[in-house]
Structure 1
Amino acid sequence: MFTEKVRVVQFGCGKMAKVIIKNLVSHGAEIVGAIDTNPVVIGQDIGDFAELGYRTGIKISNNAQEVFENCDADVAIVTVFSYMPEMEKIFETCLVNNVNVITTCEEAIYPWNTSPAVANRLDRIAKDHGVTITGSGMQDIYWINMPTLMMAGMNKIKKIKGAVSYNVEDYGLALAEAHGVGYEITKFEKEISQAQSLPSYMWNAAEGICSKMNWTIQSVSQKSVPFVLEEMVYSETLGRNIPAGEAIGMSAVTTFETHQGIEIEVECIGKVYRETDGDMCDWEITGEPDMVFSLEKPDTVAHTCATIVNRIPSLIEAPAGLVTADQLAELSYLTYPINLYV
């Protein structure tokens, strides 16, 4: 058990960081540093940034190394990009300063097959420095651990279908661009549909399911198609209207065939929402017996931020290295301050 508060650095100060910081404070953590490259937020007190109602004396800095050298942090919460190659140097900076890392980077939920070189290198760095790195968020509970728990009530499984939807407006410009928001269809086809270079976020979650269930993957295929409307939609993230006929996001369907004969089909929908749209998290498992369950209009941002904070004890207690969410200790709600759980 920590006798003092868990000390946290917030690396990436965008929309989600505001929620995370509030959650950290409410669960008794101490924010000892904050990092971002956006000139709009650099120099802001995190109390002002996160609208805590008071100033903390901790200001957002664009010098990550300086922050780590002066704060003696236990954990860095990293909320920047979605894929491992673009996050590698950021993660390395945290790890070489002997700080545990938990991240909303979607690929980090299970990166061993989609970015093996980066994953193995970070695993070695983390082990050399005696710290842990993991990915978490909405997919930790609702895309991996909840479906696998529900399967324990079945005698036989033939096929798993999962479909999730989220508003790209909640996650910043990098995620919107990865979903082709505002792309003309020819550009979408060339840079996203035909390139097939990036796994959907559900791809990595499905790999986490396979890992937790000890299934071996025989083949993987993915198809990405644009979401297009016949009316204009305004995107706050892009700061402009998206004309009718341009992509407001995309749907990526990823299909896994396993050597155990079980098929997994997962659909990941990320788009600019209209007023009538809402998030989705639906599962259908075919077998003996069949099973259908869902989370009704989940608040994906709130669930992600809460999960990140509630994951901190199992992150600190985990062995050194890159440890994916399917391998971490059971996740639970924090009734008491975080430090009483580690």
Structure 2
Amino acid sequence: MITALQIGLGPLGQQIGRYISEKTSIGTVAAVDIDKELKGVDFGKLINGSPSDILIENSVESALQKLKEKPDVAIITTVSSIKKLESQIEEVAQHGIPIVSTCEELAFPWEENPGSSKNIEAICKKYKVACLGTGVNPGFLMDYLPSVLSSVCKNIDSILVERIQDATPRRIPFQRKIGAGLDLKAFKSKEDEGTLRHVGLKESVYFLAKSLGFELDEVTENLTPVIAESNLKTPSMEIQKGDARGVQQISQGYKNGRCKIEMHFKAAVGEPRSYDKITVKGIPSFTSEIDTGINGDIATCAITINAVKSILKAAPGLHTMATIRVPGYLN
């Protein structure tokens, strides 16, 4: 059985812990979170109410001291910022433990964060471990999946990727991250702070461009609120007419003045229809659509776990979904 160290026990980390507890080929053997109130808490009781022999620690060092053998892999679900992740990666890598992280900026970091990319690559090579950033988006739906679909094309002129989702069933931290329930002044304030947006859209554009061999001259991104046309009420919040119910972001990659890659991301409470859609213009031209879309929370947890067996076979260094073996279901 693959043994895992989990780092970061917010809603996503807890959900990953629950999913792992249902599997036979992987198991969590240690858990870490910096929240002082979680130190000494039974990990099993936290994730599903069932007692376990794992007590949560506040540091990787203290968690590993309680184990007879080091875990096979570390799953890090802590931050979206790659700069904040650097020290966490080194803390794990120095013990020779490969890493899978849900950090959005890690999915394809070389263009937006070249310094951090270089540092993490050096850390991984120094300690001879592989590291991967993945998730449903970025990491799969808007970058890896269209790159796979492109393999049936003789020529590609352009690709449009759309992810439209009703955020009503998503976890509350996600709803807050997209600005649901904020008045437009508060929305603009958080946008200016950089705390309100889907993280990773440009990374997805660069990932796909790399896969297609497109050398882009410019990548743009813009963000606008999705405004409620009537009052909305959900189990987690009430949204007034005229306030934001979510966010829409569009990122475009240009070459010689022509848009070659375009990505539309829209997540809003009360969105009437969810779908994931890829439109390829080329030879052949085609459209592939997933009706109702893929649930982001479920899929992010699942792909993070399922990518473990691929990262265990990967060469030391910083990887993307395009440089590891094709992942599949891990039972």
TM-score, length of structure 2 as denominator length: 0.86
SS of the residue aligned with 1:325?
coil
Tell whether the 8 Å contact from 1:77 to 1:103 is kept in structure 2 after alignment: yes
* Equivalent residue pairs, number: 325
1:290 equivalent among 262, 280, 285: 285
Change (3 A) 1:307 1:68: same
Are 1:280 and 2:279 an aligned pair? no
Cα distance in 2, alignment partners of residues 155 and 61 from structure 1: 53
Is the alpha carbon distance of 1:48 and 1:266 closer, same or farther for their aligned partners in structure 2, counting shifts above 3 Å? same
Distance of 2:18 and 2:177 partners within structure 1: 28
**Structure 1: where are the runs of 5+ without partners?**
336-342
> 1:244: how far off?
2.9
User: What SS class does the counterpart of residue 309 from structure 1 fall into?
Assistant: helix
Name the CA shift for 1:242/1:38 in 2 (closer, same or farther; >3 Å).
farther
Q: Distance in 1 between matches of 2:197 and 2:190?
A: 10
In structure 2, how many angstroms separate the alpha carbons of the residues matched to 1:306 and 1:197?
25
- The sequence identity of aligned pairs, in percent, is 19
User: What are the superposed Cα offsets for residues 131-178 of structure 1, whole Å, 9 maximum, x if unpaired?
Assistant: 1111112133332232122222222211111111343873553x5554
Quickly say closer, same or farther: Cα 1:249–1:312, change in 2 above 3 A: same
The 5 Å alignment of 1:1-342 reads 5-25=1-21, 26-38=23-35, 41-51=38-48, 54-71=50-67, 72-139=70-137, 140-166=139-165, 167=167, 170-171=170-171, 173=173, 175-192=174-191, 200-234=199-233, 240-258=237-255, 263-271=260-268, 273-274=269-270, 277=272, 279-297=274-292, 298-334=294-330
**Is 186-195 or 109-118 further displaced after alignment?**
186-195
Give structure 2 stretches of 5+ with no counterpart. none
Matched to 1:134, the amino acid is L
Corresponding residue number in structure 2 for 1:339 = none
- TM-score under structure 1 length normalisation: 0.84
Contact kept, 8 Å, 2:181 with 2:237, in 1: the verdict is no
In 1, are the aligned partners of 2:252 and 2:263 still within 8 Å (CA)?
yes
The alpha carbon displacement at 1:91 in A equals 2.4
Output the CA distance in 2 between the equivalents of 1:149 and 1:260.
26
Greater RCO, 1 or 2 (C-alpha within 8 Å, sep 6+): 1
- Which letter does structure 2 place at the counterpart of 1:243? Q
Tell me if the contact between 2:197 and 2:247 (Cα under 8 Å) persists in the aligned partners: no
Aligned residue identity for 1:289? P
The alpha carbon displacement at 1:293 in A equals: 0.7
Between the aligned partners of 2:218 and 2:196, the Cα distance in structure 1 is 16
What is the one-letter code of the residue matched to 1:282? K
